[in-house]
Structure 1
């Protein structure tokens, strides 16, 4: 699991032990596998679940959904943790906030303004502005936050937050 986000790896223990975690826009399932190995129940959601379908675990639920066109498929206060990496669709922020249980933790990391110098994404619709995750999770307890250049897994400008719902 060398391609796992160090941000996620570092903050995963903040999610209540044994809790239910949503891996949002899970892609190939790199964080799904990490979370399962950490003893969490995982719901992996993506528009294309073919790659994550190769994972087999009794604590794994796979949901195929177009989150940008099909609506939010989850109810309120359902998850103890929500993990999002390399994905930004701003209309989902309220749904993410609402589906997190009290005391639950969101771990979010994606590209930010300045990434244009390094490659894709370049479109400002898919780049976070400085402090945007803090604003989106206002009212949460901010456990950690960063914004700026990173060298791994490749040079980029990213923003990350780990925050607990009060």
Structure 2
């Protein structure tokens, strides 16, 4: 959707390297024992590549996808400064098709495109993992104007990734957190 891309480009055009989040999401850090650091990883809606850089430092070959060329340029520069390589690709995830059985790890943070759920399962190698975390309906308490279509419903991630072995999960119901997450593994 062109207006979304323009909005993200505008957002990132006002950012500098010093003003972007460069750390990996705490979910990745706290579950690093589940991630073996080998093979190909893809970071969906990568933004300025904080997750991608963390994964590259952990040993993965990383592809970072985002609709914002500006965000990826910032991310690529940060990756170089960190001494790692991240391949950035400008992609509109509304139109992108993930290739079958290609990735050992697929990550997505703070982005919801339900069309991607079956493709993520399809794109995992046997034994590959998905780490998906984004906002749920509890987020409305903090940000009442947030668009409801971009919020996960309780149980939605578990349903979307049915057939994968869930190794970590929180849909925000019990924890009241404003985000839901899942870490799940494809059958070997």
TM-score, length of structure 2 as denominator length: 0.77
Comparing both chains, which one has the higher relative contact order based on Cα–Cα distances under 8 Å and sequence gaps of 6 or more?
1
Cα distance, 1:148 vs structure 2: 2.2
Q: Which runs of 5 or more residues in structure 1 are unaligned?
A: 150-154
Report the aligned-residue RMSD.
Answer: 2.3
> After TM superposition, what 4+ stretches of structure 1 lie above 6 angstroms from structure 2?
none
Partner SS, residue 148 of structure 1: coil
* Aligned residue pairs, count: 160
TM-score, length of structure 1 as denominator length: 0.87
Name the residue aligned to 2:182.
161
Quick check: which one's helix share is greater?
Answer: 2
Does residue 113 of structure 1 match 2:137?
yes
Q: Which has more radius of gyration?
A: 2
Does residue 53 of structure 1 match 2:79?
no
Quick check: which one's strand share is greater?
Answer: 1
Tell me, in whole angstroms, the C-alpha distance in 2 between the residues paired with 1:62 and 1:136.
27
Q: How does 1:83-94 map to 2 (within 5 A)?
A: 83-94=107-118
Cα distance, 1:122 vs structure 2: 2.0
Does residue 36 of structure 1 match 2:32?
no
Q: Which runs of 5 or more residues in structure 2 are unaligned?
A: 1-20
